[in-house]
Amino acid sequence: MGTDARMTRQRFLRISSRATAAFQGELGAFSQRAAINIFGPRVDPLPCVAFDGVFEKVMKGEAAVGVIPIENSLAGSIYQNFDLLAQHSLEAIAETYVRIEHHLIADPSSNFGRIRKIYSHPVALAQCRRFLKRLKRIEEISFYDTAGSVKYIREQGLKDAAAIASADAARIYRMKILRRGIEDNRENYTRFLALARKGAFRPGGAKTTVVFGLRNEPGALFKALSVFALRNIDLTKIESRPIHGKPWEYLFYLDLHSDVGSRECRNALRHLQEMTLYFKILGSYKTY
């Protein structure tokens, strides 16, 4: 744990009596690893079945923070979480990156030759396509979660099944790694955001995320981006999502390399609001 993580954890423990981080998936999920990156190893994990459950736990105060994946370097944005960010009034307070390394995991008493079924999340299965293609007579089974598939094989006592998941999941459920690093592409990273209720943390950090809607008129997006280009503020990401009930109109999500506390960022966002129909700062935060 670096100094930054320790400081965040201290701030975090100070503001909350229960140092609990909600995330989607079972214990050993990559999201839990992200929570540890940010808040340190003593953070209390609160597994949730679905992403909207993570938002709800934080909204209700059952968890001090929630940790959600927002983008994978291969699969792209996790669009559902962009929509949930716009729908809820939570604040992004930190980001971190986790290298996604997939392992083939089975019961300690099993071995590679006995495996006939492989369970995992469909995105993980897709990211191990080359490895899976080489196997014969194997059935792939889509599961709601990578770590959850390890837990399932353990609980069911399956000896002819393996799961694709993290090393953390293998350790937590005391299972054996049969094959390491079976992902097709090693440039496989997921970016996570930590979320908290508004005002729980003092905002600030090198990155700021905003969401806005524009009038549907020529040049609207170009003009919106000009407020950052004119002030040499770098964009690291743009995403668009449909607005329900207004076909072919979009909300735009921008990540800026700028602290919301800086004069240039404040000026750019004020300028932006001259042309937006809807505008919200989703957070200004540090990278862990």
Q: Is 112 in the site for a second copy (CB under 8 A)?
A: no
Q: Which residues contact 82 (CB under 8 A, 6 or more apart)?
A: 70, 239, 241, 253
Among the candidate windows 68-76, 132-140, 149-157, 159-167, which touches a second copy by CB under 8 A?
A: 68-76
Stretch that binds a second copy, among 36-44, 55-63, 183-191, 268-276 (CB under 8 A): 183-191
Tokens 């995320």, located at residue: 209
In contact, 59 and 85? CB cutoff 8 Å: no
Largest Cα span, the chain: 65
For 264, phi and psi rounded to 5 degrees? -65, -40
Contact with a second copy (CB under 8 A) among 161, 239, 272, 288: 239
Catalytic residue among 20, 146, 190, 209: 190
Out of 75, 123, 167, 177, the residue judged to bind a second copy by CB under 8 A: 75
Kind of pairing, strands 90-99 and 276-287?
A: parallel
For residue 175, the SS3 value is coil
Considering the complex, state which of residue 192 and residue 201 has its C-beta at the smaller distance from a second copy: 192
Find the binding residues for a second copy in span 113-172 (CB under 8 A): none
Between CA 271 and CA 267 the distance in angstroms is 6
Site string for a second copy, 199-238 (x = CB under 8 A): -------------------xx-xxx-xx-xx--xxxxxxx
Enter the DSSP assignment of 233.
Answer: P
Nearer to a second copy, 159 or 257 (CB): 257
Active site residue ranges: 190, 192
